[in-house]
Amino acid sequence: MSTKILNVVGARPNFMKIAPLMEEFSRHPNIETCLIHTGQHYDAKMSKLFFEELGIPKPDIDLGVGSSSHAVQTGKIMIAFEEALLQINPDLVVVVGDVNSTIACSLVATKLGVQVAHVEAGLRSFDRTMPEEINRILTDHISDYLFVTEKSGEENLLHEGISEAKIHLVGDVMIDTLLRHLKKAQQSQVLQKTGVSPKAYAALTLHRPSNVDSPTQFSAILQALEEVQKDIKIVFPMHPRSASRLQEFGLKQHIEALPNLIVTPPFGYLDFLKLLAEARFVLTDSGGVQEETTALGVPCLTLRENTERPATVTQGSNQVIGTDPERIVAASQRILAGDFKTGGRPELWDGRAAQRIVQVLLKEFSDRA
């Protein structure tokens, strides 16, 4: 008897998480898969590039919801996904990460009596001003299978009263993707195209609303970058949200005046992985980048007051330094002076998380047969 599994992606961070799962599912003839792209991130060029680079099958259905406020976007996804779910009638819905698509599709599936598996469950920043934190908590509490990347995830879920039987520590599917594609990424010409040399630049990503939606906060971070770029080139693949806010706040000219701050459009996965791997250090407010730098052993300075991925700090190469300009500059200067944090990969970050997830699901569904 075959098991029909409906997989959901909606935003670029989801693509790296679904790729190893789709590949692993394809190895089992008794698993029938369907892939839905909600269209939450709707840049056709970037989405197409990620799908091609990661070997993800073309989505069976693209809901095409596009960008809106949290409420409008979540509502649009729910309406469109319900119709697709009723049409497909799967045994299980798999959601990944913490974007609006994650909670929207989980809610629809649960209310229609379809089981949900949440990949990357249990992560907590304990900051409920982050939209992603709300998505994580709600998704975890209505899911039937909770696949956890690190020990803190297990502890968080148990503390919230979730049954231990639902929780499975499997490792990190993001690292599955990274390890699989690292050799290919090394062939990327992105450094030559950008005009930098290995270990002679810092990489920067910045997109969190708390950092870029406030002119005061964004200006403070730019103040720190102005100082850091005096000592080392900074490559900044700019997120569309950040680009929009720079224009809106009248800060674009300020950034353009910094000679060693190299602003580029967003990169594809392989180019971005090469950029991270060869950086002297990375400045970021991204959760995924904290994981990737830990796997690569590259020093990472997280421009936030918290992290939902504490293993990257306790075991990896990440430091959470906040957004105070003086702290950012001081931490950067310490790394440039050779004083930086080293670490290793957390437990089960070995490239086999997707295999463990599929084995759990195969056992569960064979037990029911």
Q: What is the pLDDT of residue 67?
A: 83
Which superfamily, per CATH, for 3-172+349-368?
A: Glycogen Phosphorylase B; (3.40.50.2000)
Q: Structural domain boundaries of the chain?
A: 3-172+349-368, 182-336
pLDDT at position 191 is: 98
Q: For residue range 242-275, what is the model confidence (pLDDT) as tens digits?
A: 999 999 999 998 899 999 999 999 999 999 999 9
Q: What percent of the chain has pLDDT over 90?
A: 88
Q: Catalytic one among 28, 141, 207, 254?
A: 207
Q: Grade residue 47 by pLDDT with cuts at 50, 70 and 90.
A: confident
pLDDT tens profile 316-333: 999 999 999 999 999 999
Over the chain, what is the mean pLDDT? 95
**239 contacts 11 by C-beta, under 8 angstroms:** no
Neighbours of 61 (CB within 10 A): 18
Tell which phi-psi region holds residue 242, choosing left (phi > 0), alpha (psi between -120 and 50) or beta. Answer: alpha
Cα–Cα distance for residue pair 107/228, rounded to 1 Å: 44
State yes or no: pLDDT of 15 exceeds 80: yes
Helical residues (DSSP H) of 127-283, grouped into ranges: 131-142, 151-159, 173-185, 190-194, 209-212, 215-228, 240-249, 252-256, 269-277
pLDDT at 10: 92
Cβ neighbour number for residue 324 with a 10 Å cutoff: 14
- What pLDDT shows up at residue 296? 97
Cα gap 117→223, rounded to integer Å: 43
| Assigned CATH for 182-336 | 3.40.50.2000
SS3 277: helix
Q: How confident is the model at residue 44 (pLDDT cuts 50, 70, 90)?
A: low
In the residue annotation, 207 being an active-site residue is answered as: yes
Q: Which of 16-25, 34-43, 157-166 has the lowest mean pLDDT?
A: 34-43
Lowest-pLDDT range, 33-42, 107-116, 328-337?
33-42
- Strand, coil or helix: 296: helix
Mean pLDDT of 190-198: 98
Task: Give the pLDDT band (50/70/90) at residue 180.
Answer: very high
Angle between helix 12-25 and helix 44-54 axes, rounded to 10 deg: 30
Query: Can you list the pairs that 216-224 forms with residues at least 24 positions away whose Cβ atoms lie under 8 Å?
Result: 217/323, 218/242, 218/245, 218/246, 218/249, 218/251, 219/249, 219/251, 220/323, 220/324, 220/325, 221/303, 221/323, 221/325, 221/328, 222/251, 222/254, 222/255, 223/325, 224/325, 224/326, 224/328, 224/329, 224/332
Does residue 368 carry a pLDDT above 90?
no
- Mean pLDDT confidence for 23-42: 92
Decide if 3-172+349-368 and 182-336 have a common fold.
Answer: yes
What integer is the mean pLDDT of 104-119? 98
